[in-house]
């Protein structure tokens, strides 16, 4: 199956700093990637849809100025958590869609654990 990687796998930062998380599709091109957040013992919550070459689409309640998404190439999307605070501590997971617009097979990355002190 298609492989999606994330970097870093975990990060600890001080409150007020910014953190960038990368999501890469390793063996396929992905025009669309998705960013999810997962709190302990809960399921994944979609934060935003990242579209190559255009602006990301954010879900209701997700601050676009706080969670900056850049999908600069067909294999890379980045999520930057700006001015991170302890409540941003969470497990962030990306997925990449394989195939065209009518094909909805998504492969997930291994996740990034963010801890904000």
Partner 1 sequence: KNQVEQSPQSLIILEGKNCTLQCNYTVSPFSNLRWYKQDTGRGPVSLTIMTFSENTKSNGRYTATLDADTKQSSLHITASQLSDSASYICVVSPLKAAGNKLTFGGGTRVLVKP
Q: What is the contact surface with partner 1 in residues (CB under 8 A)?
A: 1, 4, 6, 32, 41-44, 46, 49, 57, 91, 93, 95, 97, 101, 104-111, 113
Q: How far is the CB of 63 from partner 1 (least distance, A)?
A: 18
**Where are any strands of DSSP class E within the chain?**
4-7, 10-13, 19-25, 32-38, 45-51, 57-58, 67-73, 76-81, 90-98, 105-108, 112-116
Burial of 117 (0-12, 13-18, 19+ CB in 10 A): exposed
Q: How far is the CB of 116 from partner 1 (least distance, A)?
A: 17
Q: Rank residues 57 and 80 by Cβ distance to partner 1 and give the closer one.
A: 57
Q: Rank residues 17 and 42 by Cβ distance to partner 1 and give the closer one.
A: 42
Q: Rank residues 5 and 70 by Cβ distance to partner 1 and give the closer one.
A: 5
């Amino acid at each position: 199956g298609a492989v999606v990687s994330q970097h870093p796998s975990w990060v600890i930062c001080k409150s007020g700093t910014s953190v960038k998380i990368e999501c890469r599709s390793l063996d396929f091109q992905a025009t669309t990637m998705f960013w999810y957040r997962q709190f302990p013992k809960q399921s994944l919550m979609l934060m935003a849809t990242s579209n190559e070459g255009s602006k990301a689409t954010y879900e209701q309640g997700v601050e676009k100025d706080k969670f900056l998404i850049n999908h600069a190439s067909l294999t890379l999307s980045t999520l930057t958590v700006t001015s991170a605070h302890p409540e941003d501590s969470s497990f962030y997971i990306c997925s990449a869609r394989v195939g065209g617009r009518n094909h909805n097979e998504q492969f997930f990355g291994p996740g990034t654990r963010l801890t904000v002190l």
